[in-house]
Amino acid sequence: MTKRIASVACAVLLVAALPAQADPKKKAPMACADLVQLSLPDTVIHSAVEMPAGPFPFGNNTPTCTADVAAAELRAFCRVIGTIAPQIGFEVWLPLEGWNGKFQGYGNHGFAGDLDYSDLGPELNKGYAVASTDTGHLASQNPPLWMQNPQQVIDYGYRGVHEMTVKSKAIVEAFYGRPPKYSYFNGCSTGGKEGLMQAQRYPEDYDGINIGGSANFDQIGNRVQYVWNGQVTFANPAARLAGATLVLINNAVLAECDELDGVKDGVIDDPRTCTFQPASLLCRAGQDPATCLTQTQVTALEKVYQGPRNPRTGEEIYPGLVRGSERGWGGHTAGPNIFATADQFFKYMVYNDPAWDYRTFDFDGDLAYTRQHFSHLLDALDPDLSAFRKRGGKLLFSHLWSSTTHTAIRSIQYYEDVAALLHGGKNDRGHSFGKTQEFFRFFLAPSASGSKGPDRFDALPDLERWVEQGIPPKSILAWHKTGGVVDRTRPLCPYPQRAVYKGSGSTDEAANFACRTPKGDRHGDDDDDD
Ligand SMILES: [Ca+2]
């Protein structure tokens, strides 16, 4: 009896002496320099150094995704540099003061292989603990021999970002003495694919995922599109589409389709409604060739709009470039070679043959071989997001219609695949999007290269409000700048809604537009966002 009383008294004394122990999640914070001694599985921390507040110290500070503000200066932070086995390089930046209690993982571009400090700076300055990874190889390796290393392909394909996330969260917890309240992933392009991969394969990693700009989640389809565009245009010099020819085509497309959305503003809100036919530009006898297209060019243009097809089955492999985006085509149709991401992919990852020539690619057998060996490693196509949904995750996905590297049509297809799965079948195209919108909202930004399309926006605050307060975004405010000055604002609307002009006031002001569902589409959120 006496013994029992003594042990209870001892426990009371311990609790009184160590009040911090009352919160089991809270541990003593570690000093920045001590983080090199932190023991994490398969991980070496090479350095942990306090960086004083001051001018951005890493060269170019212009962010690559759609966030608008470059970090001219950085707040003071603890910079942690580490490697996860076998060779996944990563960094975590931890604000020394003013941490907002949240973690943010940031995605890559192209074939990854480096960290985009210019993307991390603005997020650090908002108060985030932010991390990124090279995904296990160096972009500077030339030729890219890592593409023949199976582990490095896996780490680039899906494992690197997940490992970076798990280890970075542990470092955040060690440094601040508590885990992050919320974790977000942010990225565009390859980073957008990484975000979808997280939602599909590692649903526990993030509370919210923001995919901005455009996402290259169908990596094989995207690279096959580059091969297709090369074969149908500049492989034959007479079929090349470049410079003034693209301007000529774009002007004709706009003349026919700009006003289909009700506003003549140089932007086609939904290029799917535009049915411009290249043959309408075919040169007539005696016509100035600068004002029209040859039959060879007309055929080439039709094939670019169509996109890659299987010659045997007619199957669409990837959607074509959209009408209205022509001024941004550049190397797609002008050459002289296909883009490096496709060229390197086939030469070094798929065929291990530096002499591979895009003109020899067969869109039936070669495509099947590529998909069979690489789709499960690289593509984030799985529409089953049920585990991410179940854990309360929220996904914001936006895509620019002007993007020519990854077409918005492919993102629409993915969103509809997710919705169809939730609503009971792919053939049900008239379904409501309501259940999908409860955790996954998709926004298209009408824009075109050289136009005043509202192509700048920052969806992260909308995602935070959704995750932390349960308030889903009914629209996202986008803007366009000319010479650094905002000259147009427009709401982006959750698909399938579109921003419709109310009929009065300036078409350059968002307040004069409402999100409405086009006729023929059913939608779960009935209210117009006026
Ligand atoms: Ca228009």
Greater model confidence, 5 or 251: 251
Greater model confidence, 443 or 520: 443
Torsion of CA 55, 60, 63, 64, to 10 degrees: -170
Residue type, 81: I
Greater model confidence, 452 or 247: 247
| Neighbour-count burial of 438, counting CB atoms closer than 10 A to its CB (0-12 exposed, 13-18 middle, 19+ buried) | middle
Please report which confidence band the pLDDT of residue 461 belongs to, taking 50, 70 and 90 as the band edges. very high
Would you state the pLDDT for residue 426?
A: 53
Q: How far is the CA of 269 from the centre of ligand 1 (A)?
A: 6
Q: How far is the CA of 500 from the centre of ligand 1 (A)?
A: 10
Mean pLDDT of the chain: 91
Q: How far is the CA of 276 from the centre of ligand 1 (A)?
A: 15
| CA distance linking residue 412 with residue 423, whole number of Å | 16
Q: How far is the CA of 506 from the centre of ligand 1 (A)?
A: 14
Would you state the pLDDT for residue 213?
A: 72
Q: How far is the CA of 271 from the centre of ligand 1 (A)?
A: 10
Q: How far is the CA of 64 from the centre of ligand 1 (A)?
A: 27
Would you state the pLDDT for residue 17?
A: 46
Q: How far is the CA of 399 from the centre of ligand 1 (A)?
A: 18
Tens digit of each residue's pLDDT (9 = 90 or more) over 81-101: 999 999 999 999 999 999 999
Is the pLDDT confidence value at 69 over 90?
Answer: no
Would you state the pLDDT for residue 292?
A: 98
Would you state the pLDDT for residue 2?
A: 40
Tens digit of each residue's pLDDT (9 = 90 or more) over 20-37: 455 666 789 999 999 999
500 backbone dihedrals φ, ψ, rounded to 5°: -110, 130
Q: How far is the CA of 270 from the centre of ligand 1 (A)?
A: 9
**252 touches 276 (CB < 8 A):** yes
Would you state the pLDDT for residue 25?
A: 67
Would you state the pLDDT for residue 283?
A: 98
Q: Which residues pair with 133 in a beta bridge?
A: 90
**336 touches 276 (CB < 8 A):** no
**303 touches 317 (CB < 8 A):** no
Is the pLDDT confidence value at 491 over 60?
Answer: yes
Would you state the pLDDT for residue 179?
A: 97
Instruction: Give the environment of ion ligand 1: residues with CB less than 5 A.
Output: 258, 261, 263, 265, 267
Q: How far is the CA of 66 from the centre of ligand 1 (A)?
A: 22
Would you state the pLDDT for residue 396?
A: 97
Q: In the chain, what is the straight-line distance between the N-terminal and C-terminal CA atoms, in Å?
A: 72
Would you state the pLDDT for residue 425?
A: 58
Other CB atoms within 10 A of residue 126 CB: 20
Residue type, 105: G
Closest-CA residue to 125 (of 171, 164, 67, 173): 67
Is the pLDDT confidence value at 161 over 50?
Answer: yes
| CA distance linking residue 243 with residue 235, whole number of Å | 17
* Sign of the four-CA dihedral 369, 373, 374, 380: positive
**252 touches 332 (CB < 8 A):** no
Closest-CA residue to 82 (of 147, 206, 12, 172): 172
Q: How far is the CA of 420 from the centre of ligand 1 (A)?
A: 30
Is the pLDDT confidence value at 68 over 90?
Answer: no
Closest-CA residue to 183 (of 175, 199, 193, 192): 199
- Which pair of tokens denotes residue 214? 């455009």
Closest-CA residue to 94 (of 186, 185, 42, 169): 169
Other CB atoms within 10 A of residue 75 CB: 19
Percent pLDDT > 70 in the chain is 90
Q: How far is the CA of 265 from the centre of ligand 1 (A)?
A: 5
Residue type, 417: D
pTM as predicted = 0.92
Would you state the pLDDT for residue 449?
A: 67
Residue type, 61: N
Is the pLDDT confidence value at 523 over 80?
Answer: no
Q: Please count the helices (runs of H) and the strands (runs of E) in the chain.
A: 15, 15
**417 touches 196 (CB < 8 A):** no
Q: How far is the CA of 475 from the centre of ligand 1 (A)?
A: 19
Q: How far is the CA of 266 from the centre of ligand 1 (A)?
A: 6
Would you state the pLDDT for residue 119?
A: 93
Go through 50-69 and write b for each residue having 16 or more CB atoms within 10 A of its CB, e for each that does not: ebeeeebeeeebebbbbbee
Is the pLDDT confidence value at 483 over 70?
Answer: yes
> What single string gives the DSSP state of each residue in 252-299?
HHHHHHGGGGS--SS--S-GGG----GGGGBPPTT--GGGSB-HHHHH
The mean pLDDT of 410-437, rounded to a whole number, is 80
| CA distance linking residue 367 with residue 228, whole number of Å | 11
Q: How far is the CA of 407 from the centre of ligand 1 (A)?
A: 19
Please report which confidence band the pLDDT of residue 62 belongs to, taking 50, 70 and 90 as the band edges. confident
Closest-CA residue to 514 (of 263, 228, 224, 264): 263
Would you state the pLDDT for residue 27?
A: 84
Tens digit of each residue's pLDDT (9 = 90 or more) over 101-158: 999 999 999 999 999 999 999 999 999 999 999 999 999 999 999 999 999 999 999 9
Would you state the pLDDT for residue 484?
A: 85
Would you state the pLDDT for residue 453?
A: 86
Q: How far is the CA of 513 from the centre of ligand 1 (A)?
A: 13
Q: How far is the CA of 268 from the centre of ligand 1 (A)?
A: 5
> What single string gives the DSSP state of each residue in 475-527?
-EEEEEEETTEEEEEEEE-BTT-EEEE-SSS-TT-GGGEEEEPPTT---S--S
| CA distance linking residue 435 with residue 424, whole number of Å | 11
**404 touches 217 (CB < 8 A):** no
Q: How far is the CA of 257 from the centre of ligand 1 (A)?
A: 7
Would you state the pLDDT for residue 12?
A: 42
Is the pLDDT confidence value at 16 over 80?
Answer: no
Tens digit of each residue's pLDDT (9 = 90 or more) over 269-310: 999 999 999 999 999 999 999 999 999 999 999 999 999 999
Tens digit of each residue's pLDDT (9 = 90 or more) over 248-272: 999 999 999 999 998 998 899 999 9
- Which pair of tokens denotes residue 430? 């008239």
Tens digit of each residue's pLDDT (9 = 90 or more) over 327-370: 999 999 999 999 999 999 999 999 999 999 999 999 999 999 99
Residue 227 CB partners (closer than 8 Å, separation 6+): 308, 338, 342, 346, 358, 361
Closest-CA residue to 477 (of 224, 465, 142): 465
